[in-house]
């Protein structure tokens, strides 16, 4: 089963979902904007992706630029921000089993199949 952390307003996220659907793969959509991820879920994603929390932040978002860009934040503080402000989360994240990828471009999904 493929899990996609999806933002339907994001072109790259829509492309990844279309890629999954075009291949006929069974999938589950996590609408993380309407159902923000818990801290434990974000920690789990960082582990699967083998990335630091800052690597999951959309640093070009106005919220980040205006309020957090110049702050010295710990890993835990960044994870808390991602939970509190889900629009800061990189997208789309695709998880298959114990492997995950930020699927930009969508073809990167093949790297974890």
Among candidate residues 1, 2, 3, 10, the one labeled active-site is 10
Let me know: does 93 contact 100? Beta carbons within 8 Å.
Answer: yes
Helix, coil or strand: residue 87: helix
Two structure tokens written together for 44? 């789990």
Token pair in block for residue 16: 């990844």
| Whether residue 56 lies in the annotated active site | no
16/27 Cα distance (integer angstroms):
11
Contacts of 79 (CB under 8 A, 6+ apart): 39, 42, 43, 46, 53
Q: Which residues are catalytic?
A: 10
């Amino acid at each position: 089963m493929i899990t996609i952390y999806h933002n339907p307003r994001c072109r790259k996220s829509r492309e990844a979902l279309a890629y999954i659907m075009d291949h006929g793969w069974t999938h589950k959509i996590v609408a993380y904007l309407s159902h923000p991820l818990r801290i434990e879920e974000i920690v789990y994603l960082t582990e699967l992706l083998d990335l630091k929390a800052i690597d999951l932040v959309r640093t070009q978002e106005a919220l980040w630029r205006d309020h957090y860009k110049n702050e010295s934040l710990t890993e835990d503080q960044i994870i808390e921000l991602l939970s509190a402000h889900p629009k800061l989360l990189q997208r789309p994240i695709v998880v298959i089993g114990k492997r995950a990828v930020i699927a930009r471009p969508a073809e990167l999904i093949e790297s974890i199949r």
